[in-house]
Structure 1
Amino acid sequence: HALKGPKSLSKCDIPVPFFMSVYFFHIVNPNETLNGEKPMVVQRGPYVYRENRWKDNITFHDNHTVSYREYRQYFFEESMSVGDESDVVTIPNMLVLGASVMMENMPLPVLLLLSTAFKSFNEGPFLTKPVGELMWGYDSKLVDFLNKYLPGMLPTSGKFGLFAEFNNSNTGQFTVFTGQDDIRKVHMVDSWDGLKSVDYWRSEQCNQINGTAGQMWPPFMTKESTMPFYSPDACRSMELVYQRPGVSRGIPVFRFVAPKTLFANGTDYPPNEGFCPCRQSGLLNVSTCRHNSPVFISHPHFFEADPVLLDTVNGLSPNEEEHGLFIDIHPETGVPMNVSIRLQLNLLIKRVFGISETGKIAEVVMPMIWFEESGYIDGPVLNTFRTNLVVLPMVMEYMQYSFIGLGLAGILGAVMLYLSDKVKSRMVGQPCTDVDPSSSACEKTPLLQTPTS
């Protein structure tokens, strides 16, 4: 309330443990896949990374909003992982198979030149490298070549890795409402990177920036509430729906999950037509915000996706417990107590005429990795929440009933005392002939004496 005009604060560390667990789909039959057979994968992992998150450039504005950037760093946690970053796995080579699909409509001489470049730099259709290099980047002469002659094609000018652009990065500038003027707007996004909407998609509805930044929501949620949020990594807004009540670390929560329509295609769910061109339901085409690379997002193991996708790859077994995303939230405050966001990264691969490295590969949306970002309130923060949200309300409720009981007992005692006194007063002064001579009432009744003459 004391802020007048824009005010800046120093960085704010988020006192909640966050972890990213990464699972690789190791291809066990790369040669057969190159010859057109169905790919066979084996899940490797998890490889767990602790996330350090903090907000910086925090600025409050006169219109009851606050701007900030959230930064993140990742540190490998070997004790929580199944394996080490030195483990070697085989996955599709995005530089070859991804670039081939991106360039498939180019003239044949261009495709032949690209194929020659692949051979010159000894780049094949599949990569067999340590987990750490696949995650955070490896040196590639092909990357240098593409950045020189096709600038802007790749998201990085240095090492190439699946998460190279995420470490030591931020998610853009969020401007959210503080709720000072209206608690129903607290945490809701006013703009992202100065934008009220994005331009990645083909409809106004799909381009909208809705909900919060995905960390807190307005309080007083009900079973009819939804949880909208904007995800810069997915380049779109998403919305979770109520599933069931529960308890998380002793605190009552509502569990919200992704609806089956989240990644449905435009045929199965017309409002999603703006996210097309679509393939089967269960896939989100993010090529428009990922340098036009043929990348798709889905639930892990194609959970809740079109069964056709499972028929194109061997080794997948989706189930809700392991592969469904959820947020457990305390409904009265809108604070998440337990979060598990699970997404899968897929690459469209197929044979491209003129590029021999693609061989006879059948057209398939190939799972590469899936990852889970999880966080939960623990330690002193959890103790504070449990005290304020569970213990104190429970004590106050018990005290309320105790005071009601004491009040009723006091009233009942007063009534009984009043009735007892009234009965005794009626009995006083009655002759002993009218009552039992041995009764206390007779004994206390004064004897009538006749005055002597």
Structure 2
Amino acid sequence: YAYSIPKNDLTYTMWKDIPVPFFMSVYFFNVLNPAEILKGEKPMVEQRGPYVYRKQCQKENITFHPNGTVSYREYRQYHFEPSMSAGNESDVVTIPNMLVLGASVMMENLPYVLRLMMSATFKTFKEGPFLTKPVGELMWGYDSGLVDFLNKYLPGMIPTSGKFGLFSEFNNSNTGLFTVFTGKDDIRKVHRVDSWNGLTELPYWRTAQSNMINGTAGQMWPPFMTKESTLPFYSPDACRSMELVYQRPGEMYGIPLYRYVAPKTLFANGTDYAPNEGFCPCRQSGLLNVSSCPHINFLSEPHQTGVPLNVSIRLQLNLYMKKVSGITETGKISDVVMPMIWFEENGYIDGPIVNTFRTNLVVLPTLLEYLQYILIGLGLATIIVAAVVYHKVKVKLNQPDHSNLPDGIKCSSAEEKDSLLQDDMN
């Protein structure tokens, strides 16, 4: 249904204010044995959740340009949905402290004196290796003296300037300045990203291919797709471009669909899949090292599959932990990629939008298909009737008139009648 983006059009309205309800479901891996982990033992966790949030998106600062592009910022807000959640934001869970354990790994190659100073700083601000806090604070931020200190003396070192939380930069924020093609001059380019925050390539990765900004912004794609088509898109939150591939056909509310999924190579390491070499240093396949991205550390697919939905994006956030000499907060932690949370965003077509899609994509095309056969049938019937009428008129015009023969004269054949009529006339 994606085509050029004219103003005051249904597609423009849907693109500007997405009418499909989106929900983000968050699951925490609650750490059960933090003291034992510091002694080098294997982590034990339990899954808590989901904690569900309704996501609202709205595009603002929309500006159309003469070169067939449009710029905008998309703002997003999250609202907790208690009725859909398996707990409350006041639930207390324990997770690794990214400020301590994440920073320790990043500093392991710095001089020993600096590591000692960093450990002393952690102690000064009472930052330990694990956090035990309410879900709401872990999600949207909590006050941290260490964060205030770093922002004051080492600005730009961490991606937040206020409270520190896993999603503190997501709520009431925008995804950056997107400039996309409208498809006015070439329908094949509609929704494709021209630039993001003024950039046509990224600064985060090691190769030009990995730094490419490909595809759309992930909401719509050009029309006329086939099973051989892929769905490339750029994700600012993951700091990279991704691509979905065709899996199978499907149907929803009577509307035929193509189902696209992430390929197995999406998070493969550079050894197993050479094009991903630019995202290294890598660990095992299935993990993407995004430590150079200001938002996150390690991404992977979640530990379990989800229920197929109309739109569903699932990611898991992990933290690489290990013992770092000089930083006593790391204890004797064994090298481990520790799961912290996994979350999914999903949306589905519902309400009046379903009727609009069914009407435009199913009902009207079906009616038009039947209508063409009806019109063809009517045309053939008209031709047949016209031919029959024409034949009858022609026969009648060619038939001789015997009405003038005298009474009592009987003729055995048409030839005899014609002869008698001729004699009579003579």
What TM-score, normalized by structure 1, do the two folds share?
Answer: 0.80
TM-fit CA distance, 1:388: 1.3
Q: What secondary structure, in the 3-state scheme, does the structure 1 residue paired with 2:171 have?
A: coil
Identify the residue that residue 85 of structure 1 maps to in structure 2.
Answer: 89
* Aligned pairs (5 A) from 1:20-419: 20-290=24-294, 295-301=297-303, 318-319=304-305, 321-322=306-307, 338-408=310-380
Further displaced range: 211-220 or 142-151: 142-151
User: In structure 2, do the counterparts of structure 1 residues 419 and 32 end up closer, same or farther at CA, with 3 Å as the change threshold?
Assistant: farther
How far apart, CA to CA, are the structure 2 residues paired with 1:275 and 1:344? 17
TM-fit CA distance, 1:261: 0.7
How far apart, CA to CA, are the structure 1 residues paired with 2:55 and 2:191? 22
How far apart, CA to CA, are the structure 1 residues paired with 2:211 and 2:95? 32
How far apart, CA to CA, are the structure 2 residues paired with 1:192 and 1:152? 20
How far apart, CA to CA, are the structure 2 residues paired with 1:274 and 1:14? 34
How far apart, CA to CA, are the structure 1 residues paired with 2:21 and 2:225? 24
User: In structure 2, do the counterparts of structure 1 residues 208 and 286 end up closer, same or farther at CA, with 3 Å as the change threshold?
Assistant: same
How far apart, CA to CA, are the structure 2 residues paired with 1:139 and 1:21? 24
User: In structure 2, do the counterparts of structure 1 residues 72 and 418 end up closer, same or farther at CA, with 3 Å as the change threshold?
Assistant: same
How far apart, CA to CA, are the structure 2 residues paired with 1:2 and 1:209? 24
How far apart, CA to CA, are the structure 2 residues paired with 1:347 and 1:185? 38
Identify the residue that residue 441 of structure 1 maps to in structure 2.
Answer: none
Structure 2: runs of 5 or more not aligned: 8-12, 403-409
Structure 1: runs of 5 or more not aligned: 4-8, 302-317, 327-337, 435-444
How far apart, CA to CA, are the structure 2 residues paired with 1:194 and 1:119? 41
Deviations 1:382-431 (A, max 9, x none): 222211111111112222233344455566677889999999999xx9x9
How far apart, CA to CA, are the structure 2 residues paired with 1:142 and 1:122? 9
Number of residue pairs matched by the alignment = 400
What TM-score, normalized by structure 2, do the two folds share?
Answer: 0.85
Query: Which residue identity is paired with 1:296?
Result: F
Query: Which residue identity is paired with 1:247?
Result: E
TM-fit CA distance, 1:30: 1.8
How far apart, CA to CA, are the structure 2 residues paired with 1:263 and 1:359? 30
TM-fit CA distance, 1:145: 2.8
How far apart, CA to CA, are the structure 1 residues paired with 2:136 and 2:274? 41
Taking only the aligned residue pairs, the percentage that are identical comes to 74
